[in-house]
Amino acid sequence: MIEWLNMDGDGIYVWPCYVLTLIVLIANVWVAKLQHASLLKRAAARARHNDARTEVLEEISP
């Protein structure tokens, strides 16, 4: 196992490449997910705001 990880000394080059690739690929998806959640939240806030405004408009209109 250790021997395989070491790869005759080349492991210090091979493993960082794979780990970095994994990090970048996961980070991309993660950021996209976070952005999606925050966009939905913002849209919900806007929708609530719009609802409140229409209610007020209905109340004050004769």
Instruction: Tell me whether residue 42 or residue 56 sits nearer to another protein (CB atom).
Output: 42
Tell whether residue 10 is a contact of another protein (CB under 8 A). Answer: yes
Region of residue 61 (phi > 0: left; psi between -120 and 50: alpha; otherwise: beta): beta
Q: Return the exposure string of 1-30: e unless at least 16 CB atoms fall within 10 Å of the residue's CB, then b.
A: eeeeeeeeeeeeeeeeeeeeeeeeeeeeee
Instruction: Tell me whether residue 29 or residue 57 sits nearer to another protein (CB atom).
Output: 29
Give the binding site for another protein (CB under 8 A). Answer: 4, 7-8, 10-11, 13-14, 16-18, 20-21, 24-25, 28-29, 32-33, 35-36, 39-40, 42-44, 46-47, 50
